[in-house]
Amino acid sequence: MSGFAALLTRDLRLAFRQGGDVANVVAFFALAVILFPFGVGPDPDLLARIAAGVLWVTALLAALLSLERLFDADFQDGSLEALSLMPVPLEIQVLAKCVAHWLTTGLPLTIIAPLLALVLHFDAAGYPALIAALLLGTPVLSLIGAIGAALTLGARRAGVLLSLLVLPLYIPVLIFGVAASEAAALGLESRPHLLLLAALLAGSLALAPWAAAAALRQALE
């Protein structure tokens, strides 16, 4: 457990020292969302209707943007090799890195999403469900993303490959995330969708660290 805490602390410390990475993700998210009113016109009804979808798709892309560096820096400077030889199981280490990744991308995205929802005239009734869905869904993005990041480690043009690999796997999160947010905005029950998101989170929490760790061992061999 001390290894988990040590790695989590180190990754958070690195993220804060090199604050640009977090700022980039948040700025990308905000800018991409703000483009939509310019693109589709300022009609409040139209914006309100697409708001949940726009927020989720851009959050997904913003998270994807930051995935490439999840293991790459450690791979390049030899840290990953050293980490794989630590007594702490690699699976636990992957989990620590995913938690750090979520705290520096998913959580900031969840925090500013309500502000951006305002820009899109998102219905006030949908906010609690939107935030709950993002809180449940964004960790899944980090966990599934870790598998993709580990599989593409060391590949040329890893970024493009990573998107091709990971985006299709994000579709369930997108579907239930948007459904939960929209259902609440339309006055319907959002609970089933949130429960499905929670199930996705539980499933990826259990499986993703193992898959990513196996891919990392492959990359190191």
Partner 1 sequence: MAGRESKKSFTGEGLACRRGERQVFKDVAFALAPGDALLLGGPNGSGKTSLLRLMAGLAQPEDGAIAWNGDAIADDPAAHRARLHYIGHQDAVKPALTAEENLAFWAGMRGANSGAADALRRFRLDARATWPARYLSAGERKRLGLARLMASPATLWLLDEPTTSLDAEATEILLTAIADHRRAGGCVAVATHAPLPLPGAQTLSLADHVTGRQG
Query: Footprint of partner 1 on this chain (CB under 8 A)?
Result: 2-3, 5-7, 9-10, 13-14, 17-18, 77-79, 81-89, 220-221
Decide whether 155 or 171 has the Cβ nearer to partner 1. Answer: 155
* Residue 168: exposure state from Cβ atoms within 10 A (0-12, 13-18, ≥19): exposed
As measured in angstroms, the least distance from the Cβ of 201 to partner 1 is 27
As measured in angstroms, the least distance from the Cβ of 106 to partner 1 is 22
Pairwise CA distance, residues 55 & 69, whole Å: 23
Decide whether 78 or 168 has the Cβ nearer to partner 1. Answer: 78
As measured in angstroms, the least distance from the Cβ of 2 to partner 1 is 6
Decide whether 3 or 114 has the Cβ nearer to partner 1. Answer: 3
Tokens, residue 133:
């869905």
As measured in angstroms, the least distance from the Cβ of 8 to partner 1 is 11
Instruction: Quickly list H helices, the chain.
Output: 2-17, 20-40, 44-67, 69-76, 79-84, 90-101, 107-119, 127-151, 158-185, 191-220
Pairwise CA distance, residues 167 & 201, whole Å: 16
Give the H/E segment covering residue 188.
none
Decide whether 6 or 161 has the Cβ nearer to partner 1. Answer: 6
